[in-house]
Each structure stands twice: as C-alpha cells, then as structure tokens.
Amino acid sequence: MKQVFTRPASLAETPMHYCPGCTHGVAHRLVAEVLDELGLRGRTIGVASVGCSVFAYNYFNLDFQQAAHGRAPAVATGIKRVLPDRVVFTYQGDGDLAAIGTAEIVHAANRGENITVIFINNAVYGMTGGQMAPTTLPGMRTTTTPYGRDVRVTGYPIHVAEMLATLKGVAYISRVALCGVAHITKAKRAIRKAFQAQLDGKGFSLVEILSTCPVTWGLQPIDAVRWLEANMLPVFPLGEFVTDGQKERA
C-alpha cells in the first residue's frame, strides 16, 4: 500500500502541548517538511524563543538551543558564525520578536546574518495570557485592552516584514497565513525559499506567518481561522517583500 501521509523525520514523536486549534503545530510541521525535503535534518540547528513555542526543541527532531526572551537572532548569530556550514533558524513569536527582541531582529537583518527566521504573528502574547502585543489589531480585545486596542493610546500594529524589507542585509522576506489549504501550501513554499536563501549564502531570510491563538482570542479553532482570514489579512497584506537577495542589492 502506498503511504501518503507520514510524520516528517524532522519532527519528534513527542505529543505537542499547544492548545487545540493553535497553528504553532502547523507551522512546526511545515518547517519540518521543508527541512526533510531539502535534506537538511542532519545539519540544522534551531533556536527556540520564549513564548508558547519555547518547547519547540521537544517537537523538532533537530539540535536546538533555547534563547532568552527576544534574544534568538543574537543566539543564532553566535552559532552561525562559528558553524557556517550548519543551517540555523530561529522560531519566534510576535511578543518575542516584535517587542523585547526588536533590536536583535533589526540588527541581525541589517548585518545580513545568514540565518532564517520563522516569525509567528498571532497578534497577542499567547503564553503570558493574551495581552496586547505590538502586532495586536486596532480594536482587538486582549487582556490588557478589554474594550479593544485604541491606537491613539497604544499605537499601531507593527508590520515587521515591511519594516525589515527596507534593510539591505535582507535576502528574502515574505508574509504568509495559516488559513486554509491554499495559504498553507504557499506558506510552505515561502519557508522553502527562506531556507534556500540561507543555503545559497545570500543573507538574512524571514517568513512572517499569520497564525491563530484560539484560546486567548476566545474563539473555537475553526472560528479562529475564519477570524484570522477576515481580520488579519486586511491589516497584514500577504506577499513577498524581498526576493532578490542581499548580494544583488548591495
């Protein structure tokens, strides 16, 4: 019998702790499939960040380093500079990357560090209880904006992909979403391109993945996906922002 579905070798057999309907699991799987397909499992080092995905090291069947909150790009820089033949990626949430880790991500991108960043944008701080993150949508209710985010006092959602795309060290940047099969297929393609950019030595690559956090959003899993589609896509346009690579742009 032909086997049509199996666990990627880059994923461990550990059951995941993510809440039902959380798309962290989907993102993990896509990264693992890409690493399998590119034959990179034996030479990839992941950097886990602080957030719900802190236990990523238990779920990927890869070498891993856990970083302090926001520090993953600096950690990855240290590893990649010493082991340039390894594939190094960080896996970071939006609280981690777009708040406390803003300096690290901007400067890793600007230095053109030859690393790949998987950036999960679920519009909240998930692990700490659904507080407003820099990516929270205008009017969105969170535990720190119980009547909705008022942009006049709390500012606007940060567009990380567009912001980093202005930097010369960047080789590949795109934004994708985990809502529906077509989008998920595109997301995988983007992740593949990001790792390919690293393999080609082109510099910094990042895929921003619009994701769900059904629990802190207070929605059922399917409603959360619909909510993402209806509310996040208009605020965070999908697409590729940099594809030509650092070397060509210099």
The mark string for 142-181 relative to ligand SF4 (x by CB under 6 A, - otherwise) is ----------------------------------------
46, 101, 112, 126: which one contacts ligand SF4 (CB under 6 A)?
126
Evaluate the CA torsion angle 110, 116, 122, 124 in order and state its sign.
Answer: negative
Interface with another protein in residues 39-68 (CB under 8 A): 54, 66, 68
Burial code (b: 16+ CB inside 10 Å, e: under 16) for 163-200 equals bbbebebbbbbbbbbbbeeebbebbbbbbbbbbbbbee
Residue showing the smallest CB distance to ligand TPP in the complex: 93
Member of 48, 215, 228, 242 binding ligand SF4 (CB under 6 A): 215
The pair of structure tokens assigned to 35 is 């690493």
Q: According to CB under 8 A, which one of 217, 228, 232, 246 is a site residue for another protein? A: 217
Pick from ligand TPP, another protein, ligand SF4, none: which does 96 bind, CB < 5 to 8 A by kind? ligand TPP
Decide: residue 238, CB within 10 A, 0-12 exposed, 13-18 middle, 19+ buried: middle
List the single partner that 207 binds among ligand SF4, ligand TPP, another protein, none, CB under 5 to 8 Å by kind.
none
Q: Which of the choices another protein, ligand TPP, ligand SF4, none does residue 87 contact, using the CB cut-off of 5 to 8 A by kind?
A: none
Residues 185, 188, 193, 196, Cα dihedral to 10°:
-140
Three-state DSSP at 242 gives strand
Footprint of ligand SF4 on this chain (CB under 6 A)?
18-19, 22, 24, 52, 122, 126-127, 213-216
